[in-house]
């Protein structure tokens, strides 16, 4: 079985499957017996032909502007800001964004209240929904202030299991770890 399933959201370099089991299709490439995503997009696993592809149309590449809502993945969390790899733009999920697709969330743009410790709000690997507040800078400046913005999927820092929401907490059903995040109100509802 591949590491990923149809519908999973991936960014370039993500491991998809081994080359013994699958063949790289569109948007995927093989290196040293492993298949990786070449594009940002949604995985398509064809069990019949054993092709694994990453679905993202590059025609009509959208550019980001202020007010756009994006989906991305947290790549790094520092004291003052978190780095995000921007995966898709709401309403244009079928289109790949032009690289480098890097965004940054400043600690002051994380939540409506005062945030003391950014590593309590975001962790590496989290999938976030954020709003573009300045598209003219690189990285693009993002905000997760607002009930519908923030982490939509988070993973246990100890064992990488997707965390389950229990009120204001996130609980790992595998190891019992309890964590917190700046969650979107539809955390893990399967909505991008
Ligand atoms: Zn865990």
Q: What is the pLDDT of residues 52-103, one digit of tens each?
A: 988 765 444 567 889 999 989 999 999 999 999 998 888 776 666 766 689 9
Q: Selecting from 3.90.700.10, 3.40.640.10, 3.30.1050.10, 2.40.50.140, what CATH number does the domain 69-150 have?
A: 2.40.50.140
Please give all residues whose CB falls under 5 A of ion ligand 1, grouped by chain where several chains appear.
Answer: 156, 158-159, 161, 172, 174-175, 177
Least confident interval from 1-10, 18-27, 52-61, 123-132: 52-61
DSSP the chain: --SS-TT-EE-TT-EEEETTT-EE-TTEEEETTEEEESSSEEEEEETTTTEEEEE-B-TT-----TT-EEEEEEEEE-SSEEEEEEEEETT-TTBPPPTT-EEEEEGGGS-SS--S-GGGT--TT-EEEEEEEESSSSSEEEE--STT-EEEE-B-TTT-PBPEEETTEEE-TTT--EE---B-TTTTSS--
Looking at the chain, which residues constitute the CATH 2.40.50.140 domain(s)?
A: 69-150
Cα(50) to ligand 1 centroid in Å equals 32
Cα(163) to ligand 1 centroid in Å equals 8
Cα(94) to ligand 1 centroid in Å equals 33
Cα(175) to ligand 1 centroid in Å equals 4
- pLDDT value at residue 61: 53
pTM, full prediction: 0.69
Question: Residue 109 pLDDT > 70, yes or no?
Answer: yes
- pLDDT value at residue 146: 97
For domain 9-55, give the fold: OB fold (Dihydrolipoamide Acetyltransferase, E2P) (2.40.50)
């Amino acid at each position: 079985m591949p590491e990923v399933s149809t519908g999973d959201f991936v960014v370039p370099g993500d491991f998809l499957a081994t080359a013994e089991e699958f063949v790289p299709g569109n948007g995927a490439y093989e290196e040293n017996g492993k298949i990786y995503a070449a594009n940002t997009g949604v995985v398509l696993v064809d069990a019949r032909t054993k092709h694994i592809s990453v679905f993202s149309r590059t025609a009509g590449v959208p550019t980001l502007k202020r007010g756009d809502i994006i989906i991305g993945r947290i790549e790094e969390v520092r004291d003052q800001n978190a780095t995000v790899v921007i995966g898709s733009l709401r309403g244009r999920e079928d289109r790949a964004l032009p690289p480098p697709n890097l965004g940054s969330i400043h600690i002051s743009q994380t939540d409506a209240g005062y945030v003391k410790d950014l590593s309590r709000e975001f962790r590496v690997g989290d999938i976030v929904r954020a709003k573009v507040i300045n598209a003219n800078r690189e990285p693009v400046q993002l905000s997760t202030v607002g009930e519908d913005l923030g982490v939509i999927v988070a993973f246990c820092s100890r064992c990488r299991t997707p965390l389950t929401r229990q009120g204001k907490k996130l609980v790992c059903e595998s190891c019992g770890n309890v964590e917190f995040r700046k969650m979107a109100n539809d955390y893990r509802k399967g909505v991008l």
